[in-house]
Chains A and B, each alone.
Chain A
Amino acid sequence: MSSSSDNSKMWTVRVRKATLEKFEPEDLLPDTQPAYVSSWIYVFGVLTIAAFLMLIVSGLILTLEGPAWWHTSKYGHFINSLHLWNVELFFLFMVVHLWGKFWMAAWRGKRTMTWVTGCVAFFASIFTGFTGYLIQTNFDSQWIATQAKDGFNAVGIGAYFNALNTGQALLIHVSLLPIALGVIVVAHVILVRKKGVVPPIESSL
Protein backbone atom coordinates (compact mmCIF):
# COMPACT_ATOMS: atom_id res chain seq x y z
CA MET A 1 0.00 0.00 0.00
CA SER A 2 1.51 3.40 -0.92
CA SER A 3 2.00 5.90 1.89
CA SER A 4 -0.74 8.43 2.51
CA SER A 5 1.57 11.37 1.79
CA ASP A 6 1.75 10.26 -1.85
CA ASN A 7 -2.07 10.32 -2.09
CA SER A 8 -2.67 13.43 -0.01
CA LYS A 9 -2.93 15.69 -3.03
CA MET A 10 -5.48 13.45 -4.71
CA TRP A 11 -8.91 15.05 -5.10
CA THR A 12 -10.56 11.96 -3.63
CA VAL A 13 -8.38 12.03 -0.52
CA ARG A 14 -8.87 15.78 -0.09
CA VAL A 15 -12.68 15.48 -0.40
CA ARG A 16 -12.76 12.49 1.97
CA LYS A 17 -10.65 14.29 4.61
CA ALA A 18 -12.64 17.52 4.35
CA THR A 19 -15.94 15.63 4.56
CA LEU A 20 -14.91 13.59 7.59
CA GLU A 21 -13.58 16.71 9.30
CA LYS A 22 -16.77 18.66 8.62
CA PHE A 23 -19.23 15.89 9.32
CA GLU A 24 -18.34 13.69 12.26
CA PRO A 25 -20.68 10.67 12.56
CA GLU A 26 -21.40 11.51 16.22
CA ASP A 27 -22.68 14.91 15.12
CA LEU A 28 -24.82 13.54 12.28
CA LEU A 29 -26.30 10.64 14.27
CA PRO A 30 -25.97 11.60 17.92
CA ASP A 31 -27.25 9.57 20.85
CA THR A 32 -27.53 12.47 23.26
CA GLN A 33 -29.16 15.86 23.16
CA PRO A 34 -28.75 18.92 25.40
CA ALA A 35 -30.97 18.77 28.45
CA TYR A 36 -32.74 22.00 27.46
CA VAL A 37 -34.34 20.20 24.50
CA SER A 38 -37.41 19.55 26.57
CA SER A 39 -40.56 20.66 24.80
CA TRP A 40 -43.00 19.21 22.29
CA ILE A 41 -42.20 22.12 19.96
CA TYR A 42 -39.04 20.25 19.01
CA VAL A 43 -40.90 17.43 17.23
CA PHE A 44 -42.34 19.62 14.48
CA GLY A 45 -39.19 19.60 12.37
CA VAL A 46 -39.11 15.81 12.14
CA LEU A 47 -42.91 15.74 11.60
CA THR A 48 -42.41 18.07 8.62
CA ILE A 49 -39.76 15.75 7.21
CA ALA A 50 -42.06 12.76 7.77
CA ALA A 51 -44.80 14.48 5.77
CA PHE A 52 -42.24 15.27 3.04
CA LEU A 53 -41.31 11.57 2.87
CA MET A 54 -45.00 10.63 2.62
CA LEU A 55 -45.32 13.13 -0.24
CA ILE A 56 -42.46 11.41 -2.03
CA VAL A 57 -43.95 7.95 -1.45
CA SER A 58 -47.47 8.92 -2.60
CA GLY A 59 -45.96 11.01 -5.39
CA LEU A 60 -43.93 8.04 -6.67
CA ILE A 61 -47.08 5.91 -6.82
CA LEU A 62 -48.82 8.65 -8.82
CA THR A 63 -45.73 8.88 -11.04
CA LEU A 64 -45.86 5.16 -11.83
CA GLU A 65 -49.44 5.39 -13.07
CA GLY A 66 -49.31 8.75 -14.82
CA PRO A 67 -51.09 12.06 -14.23
CA ALA A 68 -54.57 11.03 -15.41
CA TRP A 69 -54.83 7.76 -13.44
CA TRP A 70 -56.54 9.22 -10.41
CA HIS A 71 -59.52 10.46 -12.42
CA THR A 72 -60.61 6.96 -13.37
CA SER A 73 -59.31 4.69 -10.62
CA LYS A 74 -60.61 4.71 -7.04
CA TYR A 75 -57.20 3.51 -5.81
CA GLY A 76 -55.64 6.34 -7.79
CA HIS A 77 -58.07 8.78 -6.23
CA PHE A 78 -57.13 7.50 -2.76
CA ILE A 79 -53.41 7.98 -3.49
CA ASN A 80 -54.20 11.49 -4.77
CA SER A 81 -56.08 12.15 -1.51
CA LEU A 82 -53.09 10.84 0.45
CA HIS A 83 -50.84 13.21 -1.48
CA LEU A 84 -53.16 16.20 -0.91
CA TRP A 85 -53.61 15.60 2.83
CA ASN A 86 -49.86 15.17 3.25
CA VAL A 87 -49.45 18.59 1.61
CA GLU A 88 -51.80 20.05 4.24
CA LEU A 89 -49.93 18.26 7.06
CA PHE A 90 -46.55 19.25 5.56
CA PHE A 91 -47.39 22.94 5.67
CA LEU A 92 -49.17 22.66 9.04
CA PHE A 93 -46.13 21.10 10.73
CA MET A 94 -43.70 23.39 8.88
CA VAL A 95 -45.52 26.52 10.03
CA VAL A 96 -45.62 25.40 13.69
CA HIS A 97 -41.91 24.49 13.40
CA LEU A 98 -41.22 27.96 11.94
CA TRP A 99 -43.15 29.74 14.71
CA GLY A 100 -41.22 27.75 17.32
CA LYS A 101 -37.88 28.60 15.72
CA PHE A 102 -38.76 32.29 15.48
CA TRP A 103 -39.76 32.59 19.14
CA MET A 104 -36.60 30.71 20.11
CA ALA A 105 -34.53 33.11 17.95
CA ALA A 106 -32.95 29.95 16.60
CA TRP A 107 -30.56 31.90 14.36
CA ARG A 108 -28.38 32.82 17.35
CA GLY A 109 -24.85 31.50 17.72
CA LYS A 110 -23.91 31.58 14.02
CA ARG A 111 -27.03 29.67 12.98
CA THR A 112 -28.07 32.25 10.37
CA MET A 113 -27.69 29.73 7.53
CA THR A 114 -29.92 27.27 9.34
CA TRP A 115 -32.64 29.94 9.40
CA VAL A 116 -31.92 30.89 5.77
CA THR A 117 -32.08 27.29 4.48
CA GLY A 118 -35.29 26.82 6.43
CA CYS A 119 -36.88 29.90 4.83
CA VAL A 120 -35.71 28.87 1.37
CA ALA A 121 -37.19 25.41 2.00
CA PHE A 122 -40.48 27.10 2.91
CA PHE A 123 -40.60 29.12 -0.32
CA ALA A 124 -39.41 26.18 -2.43
CA SER A 125 -42.17 24.08 -0.86
CA ILE A 126 -44.77 26.68 -1.82
CA PHE A 127 -43.56 26.66 -5.41
CA THR A 128 -43.44 22.85 -5.45
CA GLY A 129 -47.01 22.74 -4.16
CA PHE A 130 -48.04 25.27 -6.80
CA THR A 131 -46.66 23.13 -9.66
CA GLY A 132 -48.48 20.18 -8.10
CA TYR A 133 -51.79 22.01 -8.26
CA LEU A 134 -51.03 22.79 -11.92
CA ILE A 135 -50.80 19.12 -12.92
CA GLN A 136 -54.10 17.91 -11.46
CA THR A 137 -55.50 17.88 -15.03
CA ASN A 138 -58.93 19.05 -13.84
CA PHE A 139 -60.89 22.32 -13.56
CA ASP A 140 -58.92 23.52 -10.53
CA SER A 141 -55.63 23.17 -12.43
CA GLN A 142 -57.11 24.99 -15.45
CA TRP A 143 -58.23 27.90 -13.27
CA ILE A 144 -54.98 28.09 -11.28
CA ALA A 145 -52.93 27.97 -14.52
CA THR A 146 -54.89 30.74 -16.25
CA GLN A 147 -54.75 32.95 -13.14
CA ALA A 148 -51.14 32.31 -12.16
CA LYS A 149 -49.90 33.09 -15.67
CA ASP A 150 -50.78 36.75 -15.04
CA GLY A 151 -48.46 36.89 -12.03
CA PHE A 152 -45.57 35.32 -13.94
CA ASN A 153 -46.18 37.40 -17.08
CA ALA A 154 -46.28 40.59 -15.00
CA VAL A 155 -42.75 40.02 -13.71
CA GLY A 156 -41.46 38.95 -17.10
CA ILE A 157 -40.88 35.23 -16.50
CA GLY A 158 -44.13 33.95 -18.01
CA ALA A 159 -42.45 32.65 -21.16
CA TYR A 160 -39.94 30.64 -19.11
CA PHE A 161 -42.33 29.39 -16.46
CA ASN A 162 -45.43 28.91 -18.58
CA ALA A 163 -48.20 27.89 -16.19
CA LEU A 164 -50.26 26.79 -19.19
CA ASN A 165 -47.59 24.30 -20.24
CA THR A 166 -48.70 21.24 -18.30
CA GLY A 167 -45.76 19.19 -19.53
CA GLN A 168 -43.27 21.67 -18.13
CA ALA A 169 -45.12 21.91 -14.83
CA LEU A 170 -45.23 18.11 -14.57
CA LEU A 171 -41.48 17.73 -15.13
CA ILE A 172 -40.67 20.55 -12.75
CA HIS A 173 -42.93 19.15 -10.05
CA VAL A 174 -41.82 15.54 -10.34
CA SER A 175 -38.08 15.95 -10.91
CA LEU A 176 -36.56 19.41 -10.58
CA LEU A 177 -38.25 20.67 -7.43
CA PRO A 178 -38.20 17.47 -5.32
CA ILE A 179 -34.47 17.24 -5.99
CA ALA A 180 -33.95 20.94 -5.18
CA LEU A 181 -36.12 20.74 -2.08
CA GLY A 182 -34.37 17.53 -1.01
CA VAL A 183 -30.97 19.21 -1.29
CA ILE A 184 -32.16 22.25 0.69
CA VAL A 185 -33.72 20.09 3.42
CA VAL A 186 -30.59 17.91 3.70
CA ALA A 187 -28.44 21.05 3.99
CA HIS A 188 -30.82 22.40 6.65
CA VAL A 189 -30.73 19.20 8.71
CA ILE A 190 -26.92 18.91 8.43
CA LEU A 191 -26.62 22.48 9.68
CA VAL A 192 -28.84 21.67 12.66
CA ARG A 193 -26.72 18.63 13.46
CA LYS A 194 -23.41 20.46 13.03
CA LYS A 195 -24.28 23.60 15.00
CA GLY A 196 -26.35 21.76 17.56
CA VAL A 197 -29.79 22.79 18.80
CA VAL A 198 -29.72 26.47 19.79
CA PRO A 199 -29.43 26.95 23.55
CA PRO A 200 -32.05 28.88 25.50
CA ILE A 201 -32.08 32.66 25.41
CA GLU A 202 -30.17 34.14 28.36
CA SER A 203 -28.93 30.71 29.31
CA SER A 204 -25.82 30.52 31.45
CA LEU A 205 -23.47 27.70 32.29
Chain B
Amino acid sequence: MKKYDASKKWTGPTRPYDLIKEATVAFVVVALLSIGLAALFSSPDEKAVTLQSWSQAAPADFVQTASGELAGSTISGQYGPPYNTAADGQQLGPIKVAKFMGVRIPINTANDFVIKPLGTLNDPVTNTAIARWNAADAKTQSGWATAYTDALTKASTAVTIADTNDKYGPVPTLVTSLYAMAKSGALDGALTTSDSPLPTNFTKPLLFLADSGSYFPGLADAQHLSGDQWGVMNETGSWPGQSWLWLYSLWYQVDPFKSSGNADILVMSLMGLLSLGFVLIPILPILHRIPERIPIHRIIWRDWYRSERKNS
Protein backbone atom coordinates (compact mmCIF):
# COMPACT_ATOMS: atom_id res chain seq x y z
CA MET B 1 0.00 0.00 0.00
CA LYS B 2 1.64 3.22 -1.18
CA LYS B 3 1.99 5.74 1.60
CA TYR B 4 0.56 9.16 0.82
CA ASP B 5 3.05 12.00 1.04
CA ALA B 6 1.48 14.03 3.86
CA SER B 7 3.61 17.06 3.00
CA LYS B 8 2.04 17.45 -0.45
CA LYS B 9 -1.11 19.42 -1.14
CA TRP B 10 -4.22 17.21 -1.07
CA THR B 11 -5.45 16.32 -4.53
CA GLY B 12 -7.93 13.64 -3.54
CA PRO B 13 -11.69 13.81 -2.92
CA THR B 14 -13.03 16.93 -1.25
CA ARG B 15 -16.39 18.24 -0.25
CA PRO B 16 -17.86 21.71 0.27
CA TYR B 17 -16.88 23.44 3.49
CA ASP B 18 -18.27 26.71 4.87
CA LEU B 19 -15.52 27.92 7.18
CA ILE B 20 -17.13 31.24 8.17
CA LYS B 21 -20.44 29.51 8.90
CA GLU B 22 -18.67 26.94 11.09
CA ALA B 23 -16.83 29.68 13.00
CA THR B 24 -20.09 31.61 13.51
CA VAL B 25 -21.96 28.55 14.75
CA ALA B 26 -19.08 27.72 17.11
CA PHE B 27 -19.10 31.26 18.50
CA VAL B 28 -22.87 31.26 19.07
CA VAL B 29 -22.71 27.82 20.74
CA VAL B 30 -19.90 28.86 23.09
CA ALA B 31 -21.53 32.22 23.84
CA LEU B 32 -24.84 30.55 24.79
CA LEU B 33 -23.08 27.82 26.76
CA SER B 34 -20.96 30.23 28.78
CA ILE B 35 -23.87 32.63 29.39
CA GLY B 36 -25.86 29.66 30.66
CA LEU B 37 -23.04 28.47 32.92
CA ALA B 38 -22.49 31.98 34.28
CA ALA B 39 -26.20 32.39 35.02
CA LEU B 40 -26.53 28.94 36.61
CA PHE B 41 -23.34 28.84 38.67
CA SER B 42 -21.90 32.38 38.96
CA SER B 43 -18.31 32.73 40.21
CA PRO B 44 -16.51 32.88 43.56
CA ASP B 45 -15.46 36.06 45.33
CA GLU B 46 -13.97 35.51 48.75
CA LYS B 47 -13.27 38.93 50.23
CA ALA B 48 -9.64 40.02 50.43
CA VAL B 49 -7.87 39.90 53.78
CA THR B 50 -6.43 43.14 55.09
CA LEU B 51 -3.96 43.71 57.91
CA GLN B 52 -6.94 45.30 59.66
CA SER B 53 -9.21 42.28 59.27
CA TRP B 54 -6.34 39.94 60.22
CA SER B 55 -5.44 41.85 63.40
CA GLN B 56 -9.11 41.95 64.41
CA ALA B 57 -9.82 38.28 63.66
CA ALA B 58 -6.58 36.77 64.99
CA PRO B 59 -4.84 39.23 67.35
CA ALA B 60 -2.36 36.73 68.81
CA ASP B 61 -1.24 35.55 65.38
CA PHE B 62 -0.85 39.17 64.26
CA VAL B 63 1.30 40.29 67.19
CA GLN B 64 3.46 37.15 66.97
CA THR B 65 4.07 37.89 63.30
CA ALA B 66 4.74 41.59 64.00
CA SER B 67 7.28 40.69 66.67
CA GLY B 68 8.82 38.17 64.29
CA GLU B 69 9.21 40.90 61.65
CA LEU B 70 11.26 42.92 64.18
CA ALA B 71 13.32 39.80 64.91
CA GLY B 72 13.73 39.06 61.21
CA SER B 73 12.61 35.51 61.94
CA THR B 74 9.51 35.41 59.73
CA ILE B 75 9.32 33.77 56.30
CA SER B 76 10.09 37.13 54.65
CA GLY B 77 12.80 37.90 57.17
CA GLN B 78 14.56 34.61 56.44
CA TYR B 79 13.68 34.43 52.74
CA GLY B 80 16.85 35.39 50.93
CA PRO B 81 16.82 36.71 47.35
CA PRO B 82 15.13 38.67 45.87
CA TYR B 83 14.24 40.30 49.23
CA ASN B 84 17.38 40.01 51.38
CA THR B 85 20.54 38.04 52.04
CA ALA B 86 19.31 36.14 55.08
CA ALA B 87 19.45 32.93 53.03
CA ASP B 88 20.78 31.80 49.64
CA GLY B 89 17.42 30.89 48.16
CA GLN B 90 16.68 27.59 46.48
CA GLN B 91 19.22 25.64 44.47
CA LEU B 92 19.21 23.07 41.69
CA GLY B 93 22.10 20.80 42.56
CA PRO B 94 25.04 23.19 42.90
CA ILE B 95 23.33 25.99 40.93
CA LYS B 96 22.01 28.81 43.08
CA VAL B 97 19.94 30.71 40.56
CA ALA B 98 18.16 32.98 43.03
CA LYS B 99 21.41 33.96 44.76
CA PHE B 100 22.97 34.70 41.38
CA MET B 101 20.09 37.03 40.47
CA GLY B 102 20.57 38.83 43.78
CA VAL B 103 18.47 41.12 45.95
CA ARG B 104 16.27 43.12 43.59
CA ILE B 105 13.29 43.90 45.84
CA PRO B 106 15.04 44.85 49.09
CA ILE B 107 12.93 44.19 52.15
CA ASN B 108 14.13 44.69 55.71
CA THR B 109 11.19 43.33 57.67
CA ALA B 110 11.93 45.27 60.87
CA ASN B 111 12.26 48.62 59.13
CA ASP B 112 9.79 48.17 56.29
CA PHE B 113 6.98 46.40 58.13
CA VAL B 114 7.27 47.92 61.63
CA ILE B 115 9.56 50.92 62.22
CA LYS B 116 8.76 53.01 59.12
CA PRO B 117 4.98 52.59 59.32
CA LEU B 118 5.05 53.40 63.07
CA GLY B 119 7.07 56.51 62.24
CA THR B 120 4.10 57.90 60.30
CA LEU B 121 1.93 57.94 63.45
CA ASN B 122 3.70 60.86 65.13
CA ASP B 123 2.84 59.36 68.51
CA PRO B 124 5.30 60.44 71.26
CA VAL B 125 5.31 57.09 73.11
CA THR B 126 5.89 55.18 69.88
CA ASN B 127 8.56 57.65 68.77
CA THR B 128 10.46 57.10 72.02
CA ALA B 129 10.34 53.35 71.46
CA ILE B 130 11.49 53.81 67.85
CA ALA B 131 14.40 56.00 68.96
CA ARG B 132 15.49 53.40 71.53
CA TRP B 133 15.26 50.64 68.89
CA ASN B 134 17.28 52.61 66.33
CA ALA B 135 19.95 53.48 68.90
CA ALA B 136 20.59 49.83 69.76
CA ASP B 137 22.98 47.61 67.81
CA ALA B 138 21.74 44.70 65.69
CA LYS B 139 22.59 42.07 68.29
CA THR B 140 20.61 43.86 71.00
CA GLN B 141 17.67 44.42 68.68
CA SER B 142 17.66 40.74 67.73
CA GLY B 143 17.91 39.68 71.38
CA TRP B 144 14.90 41.80 72.40
CA ALA B 145 12.70 40.84 69.46
CA THR B 146 13.52 37.13 69.47
CA ALA B 147 12.87 36.85 73.19
CA TYR B 148 9.54 38.71 72.85
CA THR B 149 8.47 36.57 69.88
CA ASP B 150 9.27 33.40 71.82
CA ALA B 151 7.34 34.67 74.85
CA LEU B 152 4.30 35.57 72.74
CA THR B 153 4.40 32.20 70.96
CA LYS B 154 4.62 30.40 74.31
CA ALA B 155 1.71 32.42 75.71
CA SER B 156 -0.18 31.57 72.49
CA THR B 157 -3.23 33.82 72.95
CA ALA B 158 -1.62 36.89 74.52
CA VAL B 159 -1.39 40.16 72.60
CA THR B 160 1.16 41.61 74.99
CA ILE B 161 3.62 40.32 77.58
CA ALA B 162 4.54 42.28 80.70
CA ASP B 163 8.23 43.22 80.75
CA THR B 164 9.36 43.71 84.35
CA ASN B 165 13.08 43.22 83.70
CA ASP B 166 13.34 45.23 80.50
CA LYS B 167 14.12 41.96 78.80
CA TYR B 168 12.34 43.00 75.63
CA GLY B 169 13.40 46.65 75.42
CA PRO B 170 11.09 48.79 73.30
CA VAL B 171 9.67 45.76 71.45
CA PRO B 172 6.41 45.38 73.44
CA THR B 173 5.60 49.06 72.84
CA LEU B 174 6.41 48.78 69.15
CA VAL B 175 4.33 45.63 68.69
CA THR B 176 1.38 46.97 70.69
CA SER B 177 1.49 50.20 68.71
CA LEU B 178 1.61 48.31 65.43
CA TYR B 179 -1.32 46.15 66.54
CA ALA B 180 -3.40 49.26 67.28
CA MET B 181 -2.33 50.77 63.96
CA ALA B 182 -3.41 47.59 62.13
CA LYS B 183 -6.80 47.45 63.88
CA SER B 184 -7.53 51.02 62.85
CA GLY B 185 -6.72 50.32 59.18
CA ALA B 186 -3.84 52.79 59.16
CA LEU B 187 -1.20 50.06 58.70
CA ASP B 188 -2.79 48.88 55.41
CA GLY B 189 -2.56 52.43 54.13
CA ALA B 190 0.96 53.05 55.39
CA LEU B 191 2.41 49.83 53.97
CA THR B 192 0.58 50.10 50.65
CA THR B 193 1.60 53.72 50.03
CA SER B 194 5.16 53.36 51.36
CA ASP B 195 6.70 53.46 47.87
CA SER B 196 4.06 55.38 45.97
CA PRO B 197 1.09 57.52 47.02
CA LEU B 198 -1.17 55.94 44.35
CA PRO B 199 -0.11 52.33 44.56
CA THR B 200 -0.66 49.35 42.33
CA ASN B 201 2.16 47.26 43.81
CA PHE B 202 1.13 45.35 46.94
CA THR B 203 4.43 43.58 47.64
CA LYS B 204 4.83 44.86 51.21
CA PRO B 205 1.36 44.25 52.66
CA LEU B 206 1.16 40.85 50.90
CA LEU B 207 4.56 39.73 52.19
CA PHE B 208 3.53 40.79 55.71
CA LEU B 209 0.25 38.89 55.33
CA ALA B 210 2.01 35.80 54.02
CA ASP B 211 4.20 35.82 57.15
CA SER B 212 1.12 34.98 59.21
CA GLY B 213 1.81 31.86 61.21
CA SER B 214 -1.70 30.49 61.29
CA TYR B 215 -4.45 32.89 60.24
CA PHE B 216 -3.75 33.41 56.51
CA PRO B 217 -2.56 29.84 55.84
CA GLY B 218 -5.51 28.61 57.87
CA LEU B 219 -7.96 30.43 55.59
CA ALA B 220 -6.30 28.82 52.58
CA ASP B 221 -6.30 25.40 54.20
CA ALA B 222 -10.03 25.67 54.88
CA GLN B 223 -10.54 26.23 51.14
CA HIS B 224 -8.19 23.36 50.12
CA LEU B 225 -5.77 25.81 48.57
CA SER B 226 -2.62 24.66 50.40
CA GLY B 227 0.25 23.12 48.47
CA ASP B 228 -0.18 19.73 50.11
CA GLN B 229 -3.89 19.70 49.24
CA TRP B 230 -3.37 19.93 45.48
CA GLY B 231 -4.16 23.58 46.18
CA VAL B 232 -2.63 24.88 42.94
CA MET B 233 -5.53 23.25 41.06
CA ASN B 234 -8.31 24.40 43.34
CA GLU B 235 -10.78 27.27 43.52
CA THR B 236 -12.50 28.68 46.58
CA GLY B 237 -15.93 27.29 47.34
CA SER B 238 -17.18 24.48 45.12
CA TRP B 239 -16.32 25.97 41.75
CA PRO B 240 -14.00 24.17 39.32
CA GLY B 241 -10.48 25.47 39.47
CA GLN B 242 -7.49 25.02 37.25
CA SER B 243 -7.59 21.31 36.42
CA TRP B 244 -5.01 21.88 33.68
CA LEU B 245 -2.43 22.42 36.44
CA TRP B 246 -2.84 18.82 37.63
CA LEU B 247 0.69 17.71 36.74
CA TYR B 248 2.30 20.81 38.25
CA SER B 249 0.29 20.16 41.47
CA LEU B 250 1.08 16.47 41.51
CA TRP B 251 4.81 16.81 42.16
CA TYR B 252 4.23 18.76 45.38
CA GLN B 253 2.31 15.76 46.79
CA VAL B 254 5.15 13.26 46.30
CA ASP B 255 8.74 12.88 47.44
CA PRO B 256 11.44 13.99 46.85
CA PHE B 257 9.64 17.28 46.15
CA LYS B 258 7.20 17.12 49.06
CA SER B 259 9.85 17.33 51.77
CA SER B 260 12.54 19.27 49.90
CA GLY B 261 13.57 22.82 50.74
CA ASN B 262 14.20 23.24 47.01
CA ALA B 263 10.76 21.97 46.00
CA ASP B 264 9.88 24.98 43.85
CA ILE B 265 13.00 25.01 41.70
CA LEU B 266 12.86 21.23 41.34
CA VAL B 267 9.23 21.26 40.22
CA MET B 268 9.70 24.28 37.91
CA SER B 269 12.75 22.64 36.31
CA LEU B 270 11.01 19.32 35.87
CA MET B 271 7.91 20.95 34.37
CA GLY B 272 10.15 23.04 32.11
CA LEU B 273 11.80 19.88 30.87
CA LEU B 274 8.52 18.04 30.36
CA SER B 275 7.05 21.05 28.56
CA LEU B 276 10.03 21.14 26.23
CA GLY B 277 9.61 17.44 25.59
CA PHE B 278 5.94 18.03 24.82
CA VAL B 279 6.77 20.71 22.25
CA LEU B 280 9.39 18.44 20.67
CA ILE B 281 7.20 15.31 20.40
CA PRO B 282 7.31 15.43 16.56
CA ILE B 283 11.06 14.80 16.60
CA LEU B 284 11.44 12.65 19.70
CA PRO B 285 12.04 8.94 19.03
CA ILE B 286 9.40 6.49 20.28
CA LEU B 287 7.03 9.29 21.40
CA HIS B 288 6.18 10.45 17.87
CA ARG B 289 5.33 6.86 16.90
CA ILE B 290 2.80 6.31 19.70
CA PRO B 291 -0.24 7.47 17.66
CA GLU B 292 0.64 4.95 14.95
CA ARG B 293 1.16 2.12 17.43
CA ILE B 294 -2.01 2.80 19.46
CA PRO B 295 -4.49 3.23 16.62
CA ILE B 296 -7.11 5.59 17.99
CA HIS B 297 -6.85 7.20 14.56
CA ARG B 298 -8.70 4.17 13.14
CA ILE B 299 -11.81 5.42 14.94
CA ILE B 300 -11.30 9.05 13.89
CA TRP B 301 -10.86 8.22 10.21
CA ARG B 302 -13.10 5.15 10.03
CA ASP B 303 -15.34 6.70 7.36
CA TRP B 304 -12.31 7.43 5.17
CA TYR B 305 -10.76 3.98 5.63
CA ARG B 306 -14.14 2.39 4.80
CA SER B 307 -14.42 4.41 1.59
CA GLU B 308 -10.79 3.54 0.71
CA ARG B 309 -11.56 -0.15 1.07
CA LYS B 310 -14.68 0.26 -1.10
CA ASN B 311 -12.73 2.01 -3.83
CA SER B 312 -9.76 -0.36 -3.85
Contact = CB atoms under 8 A, between A and B. Distances in A.
Given A38-B304, A200-B304, A89 B30 contact: yes
Interface size grouping (class) on chain B: 35 or more
Contacts of A165: 200-203
Interface in A95-115: 95, 100, 102-105, 107-112, 115
Contacts of B231: 147
B38 A78 contact: yes
Interface string B1-38: 11111111111111111111011001101110111011
A196 B10 contact: yes
Where chain A touches its partner, the secondary structure class is helix
Nearest to A201: B297
In this complex, the member of B45, B90, B100, B216 whose beta carbon has the largest number of chain A beta carbons within 10 angstroms is: B45
A71 B45 contact: yes
Contacts of A46: 22-23, 26
B20 A84 contact: no
Nearest to B20: A29
Contacts of A159: 82, 101, 104-105
A29 B19 contact: yes
Nearest to A167: B200
B220 to A, nearest CB: 5
Interface stretch (A6-14, A50-58, A177-185): A50-58
A140 B17 contact: no
Interface residues of A, number: 92
A167 B192 CA distance: 13
Interface string B144-180: 0000000000000000000000000000000000000
Contacts of B262: 154
Contact of B10 (A43, A112, A166, A199): A199
Given A32-B16, A153-B89, A77 B43 contact: yes
A115 B202 CA distance: 39
B23 A50 contact: yes
B57 interface: no
A199 B291 contact: no
Contacts of B239: 84
B281 interface: yes
A139 B17 contact: no
A166 B33 CA distance: 31
A129 interface: yes
Given A164-B202, A165-B200, A167-B201, A119 B16 contact: no
Given A112-B282, A154-B262, 14 more contacts: A32-B16, A54-B31, A77-B43, A81-B41, A89-B33, A102-B291, A115-B281, A133-B242, A137-B48, A140-B235, A160-B104, A162-B201, A195-B7, A200-B304
Interface of B: 1-20, 22-23, 26-27, 29-31, 33-35, 37-39, 41-49, 79, 81-82, 89-90, 97-98, 100-101, 104-105, 199-203, 206-207, 209-210, 216, 219-220, 225, 227, 231-232, 235-236, 239-240, 242-245, 262, 264-265, 267-269, 275, 278-279, 281-283, 288, 290-292, 294-297, 300-301, 303-305, 307-308
29 contacts: A29-B19, A31-B16, A31-B19, A32-B17, A34-B13, A34-B14, A35-B12, A36-B303, A50-B26, A50-B30, A77-B45, A81-B42, A85-B41, A89-B34, A89-B37, A103-B294, A111-B6, A115-B279, A115-B282, A119-B278, A140-B44, A140-B235, A142-B209, A147-B227, A151-B268, A153-B79, A153-B82, A162-B203, A203-B301
Those 4 A-B pairs whose CB atoms lie nearest each other, nearest first: A109-B6, A167-B200, A159-B104, A154-B264
